[in-house]
A and B are shown apart, each in its own frame.
Chain A
């Protein structure tokens, strides 16, 4: 308790408040820029922390991390481009809301949900770090495989119309993910002998191409931007208190999404990119009006944004307790800690307790700082995008995507791949194959393959190596979740059919 009070005291300084607000603002703009991920933002700002004290450095980077994950929602809502992979599901609901003239409402909902998610992540870290750290080391290759399978059941949710087309899109994405060197064995696959293809298709390259380029073609075709004008009624709806009341009106959705975000956050290597998709899928499954998902419902937006911001502090659980970065940006934080002689483990919470707890509290403050920064920044970005004529918007977004894609690996080939994928995505959309299942397949297919192959290799001593996939109780729980999640849309359809048949029968009896 004494340590906690000292930690709060350390943060009660104008410099700290400035660092938090400055970090959140920088992170927000970095996250809003397609191609710039939270990891890149942290890596770029890392040298600036060398001259800072350990606490200043950690507080600044923690705030940038929190702001960047949240900032991804801006681009997702306003231009249908997830700024970071953690905001993919945000685009599914946020962009339709923006097209209906509800952009400010969507930004406000995303802001409040993100802040709640950020605070929930800090609470998980404060109170449940030891048991969660133990759980995180139980996740082996088999569990990763099943988590990926759980995510892939989302395909049925994301299919616009035909489920078969959704599966076809998903498998196209998975096959795109297999291009390049195989993760186990390092053999070259499907490269057509082109050397640059050895590096495979970077997930963010595909993400930018498949989401942004079709939207730019649409804008060019229509001869106008897609954003709808915000009405006076919508301005009122986007007020902080009304939005907060709306977000809290469905606590089940919020709590479930936060828990999903935390469980995925503690898995090393997995993060907001998977959490937002799984939380969105579960929100749709649990919703009383699942048919409204994809048309601009706030439930999906809340699920996506709360879950991805939980992962910021949530992924610190394995980092601070075991020294295992829960997500790529955590590796940068780990670097700062090691640079200042701080070693993860129990010592961090005892010998350097004040610093550690101050860092944890600062992330909670960063989550709160997102509300004023986000609401003001969101309105500003909305105005800029809304007032810019389409003939400037198309080249400007094109510029941002080209330079953002190039910056990932300093490769013009990546930019060309991004354009080819985007154009292909536009053509596939014409025949009913949406971009979302393709991206989902690309993200989760790679995780599924690595998990599967490593599990099989681990079970090489068994008569049937694939038994390894069914060995642990944690795998059983995940398998049960996969089965329920996959069967849910069909069960729901069956239930509806029975219900309507019953209604017809009753009508006939009358």
Chain B
């Protein structure tokens, strides 16, 4: 948890940085019609951000605790699981990577509050495999969506 942060100042600074980034990415060769709308919006973004920075220095500045809900380690790990899942799909295929990552994620989240025996985990892997197979069949057979292939199929 990060305590007593001036969120107006942080949001305003972030907004100014974003405005600057978008501004620097406008190609000078761009036609007026393509540039006019984003340019106006970058201006509005910069104004809103500047007002937030000003408010951040005033007495009315909003303050709050960041990341104060539950376990931040679990949030970070869940994020890594998700990103790893998408990367793994490209190599292992949809089915294998989904069964693997979903089972491990379920085990990781469950271990926070209980003990999981190997037999129980094996059962979970089976349930997850059925779940993934259900989605796989719906999407490939019924909706004709070609899901990424890797190991096996």
Q: Does A167 contact B (CB under 8 A)?
A: yes
Q: Which listed residue (B31, B69, B148) contacts A218, Cβ 8 A?
A: B69
Shortest beta-carbon distance from B10 to chain A in Å: 5
Question: A433–B109 contact, CB under 8 A?
Answer: no
Q: How far is the CB of A413 from chain B (nearest CB, A)?
A: 10
Contacts of B25 in A (CB 8 A): 189-190, 192
Chain B residues, CB < 8 A from A182 = 33-34
Task: Judge whether A395 and B105 touch: CB under 8 Å.
Answer: yes
A171 CB within 8 Å of chain B: yes
Is A391's CB under 8 angstroms from B131's CB?
A: no
Does A394 reach chain B (CB closer than 8 Å)?
yes
- A276 CA to B114 CA in the complex, in Å? 42
Cβ < 8 Å to B, chain A residues 177-193:
178, 182, 184-185, 187, 189-190, 192
| Assembled-state Cα–Cα distance A176/B72 (Å) | 28
Give complex CA distance A190, B69 in Å: 35
Count chain A CB atoms within 10 A of each CB in B5, B72, B79 and give the residue with the most.
B79
Chain B residue numbers with a CB within 8 Å of A223 are 70-71, 74, 109, 112-113
CB-based contact B86/A222 at 8 Å: no
Contacts of A185 in B (CB 8 A): 31, 33-34
Pick the contact of B37: A192, A217, A392, A449 (CB < 8 A): A449
**Are the CB atoms of B86 and A419 closer together than 8 Å?**
yes
A383 → B minimal CB distance (Å): 17
Bound-state Cα–Cα, A217 to B142, Å = 31
With contacts A218-B69, A412-B90 taken as known, whether A168 is within 8 angstroms of B106 at the C-beta atoms is no
Does A342 have its Cβ within 8 Å of any Cβ on chain B? Answer: no
- Complex Cα distance A165/B64, Å? 14
Q: Is the CB of A433 within 8 A of B11?
A: yes
The interface residues of chain A lying within 8 Å CB-to-CB of B94 are: 403, 406
Within the assembled complex, what's the spacing in Å between the Cα atoms of A251 and B69?
40
Q: Judge whether B78 and A456 touch: CB under 8 Å.
A: no
Q: A161 near B: Cβ within 8 Å?
A: yes
Q: What residues on A are CB-neighbors of B41 within 8 Å?
A: 171, 174-175, 178, 445
Interface status of A415 (Cβ within 8 A of chain B): yes
In the complex, A216→B83 CA distance in Å?
A: 13
Interface size range of chain B in the complex: 35 or more
- In the complex, what distance in Å separates the CA atom of A392 from the CA atom of B121? 12
Does A10 lie at the interface of the complex (its beta carbon under 8 Å from any beta carbon of B)? no
Q: Does A162 contact B (CB under 8 A)?
A: yes
Closest residue on chain B to residue A394 by CB atoms: B109
A395 contacts B69, CB within 8 Å?
Answer: no
The verdict on A350 contacting chain B, using a C-beta distance below 8 Å, is no
Nearest A residue to B6, CB-CB: A431
Bound CA span A433–B108, Å: 30
Q: Output the least CB separation between A56 and chain B (Å).
A: 20
**Cβ contact within 8 Å between B85 and A220:** no
Given the contacts A182-B33, A412-B90, A419-B83, A394 and B78 also touching, CB distance less than 8 Å = yes
Contacting residues, chain A, for B49 (C-beta < 8 A): 168
Q: Which of A220, A415, A448, A452 contacts B74 (CB 8 A)?
A: A220
On whether the beta carbons of B110 and A391 are closer than 8 Å, the reply is yes
Query: Are the C-beta atoms of A217 and B131 separated by less than 8 Å?
Result: no
Q: Which of B19-40 contact A (CB under 8 A)?
A: 22, 25-27, 30-31, 33-34, 36-38
A164: chain B residues within 8 A (beta carbon): 8, 12, 48, 51-52, 55
Number of A residues with CB within 8 Å of any CB on chain B: 60
The answer to whether B82 and A168 have CB atoms under 8 Å apart is: no
* Residue from B62, B86, B98 with most neighbouring chain A CB atoms (10 Å): B86
B102 within 8 A of A: yes
> For the complex, what is the distance from the CA of A217 to the CA of B147, rounded to whole Å?
25
Bound state CA distance, A416 and B82, in angstroms?
Answer: 9
A476 vs chain B, min Cβ distance (A): 22
Are B45's CB and A168's CB within 8 A?
Answer: yes
Chain A residues, Cβ within 8 Å of B108: 391
Question: A414-441 interface mask toward B, CB cutoff 8 Å, 1 = contact, 0 = none?
Answer: 0110010001001000111100000000
Q: Which residues of A contact B107 (CB under 8 A)?
A: 391
CA distance A453 to B36 in the complex (A): 8
Contacts of B147 in A (CB 8 A): 403, 406
Residues of A within 8 A of B77 (CB): 220
Q: Which residues does chain B contribute within 8 Å of A400, judged by CB atoms?
A: 135
> Is the pair B11, A412 in contact by a Cβ cutoff of 8 Å?
no
How far, in Å, is A253 (CB) from chain B's closest CB? Answer: 31
Q: Is the CB of A44 within 8 A of B143?
A: yes
Q: Does the CB pair A172–B135 fall under 8 Å?
A: no
Which residues of A, 439-485, contact B by the 8 Å Cβ criterion? 445, 448-449, 452-453, 456-457
User: With an 8 A cutoff between CB atoms, is A335 at the interface?
Assistant: no
Q: Is the CB of A407 within 8 A of B143?
A: yes
Contacting pair B69 A221 (CB below 8 A)? yes
- Return chain B residues, CB-CB under 8 Å to A162: 8, 52, 55, 62
From B44, B67, B127, B131, A171 is in contact (CB under 8 Å) with B44
Q: Are A431 and B7 in contact (CB under 8 A)?
A: yes
CA of A192 to CA of B24 in the docked complex: distance in angstroms?
Answer: 11
A/B interface sample: 26 pairs, CB < 8 A:
A162-B8, A164-B51, A164-B52, A165-B11, A171-B41, A175-B38, A178-B38, A185-B31, A185-B34, A187-B31, A192-B25, A213-B82, A217-B79, A220-B75, A220-B109, A222-B69, A223-B113, A391-B109, A392-B127, A399-B98, A399-B131, A402-B89, A406-B147, A406-B148, A431-B7, A431-B66
Q: Which residues of B contact A (CB under 8 A)?
A: 5, 7-8, 10-12, 14-15, 18, 22, 25-27, 30-31, 33-34, 36-38, 41-42, 44-45, 48-49, 51-52, 55, 62, 64, 66-67, 69-72, 74-75, 77-79, 82-83, 85-86, 89-90, 94, 98, 101-102, 105-110, 112-113, 124, 127-128, 131-132, 135, 139, 142-148
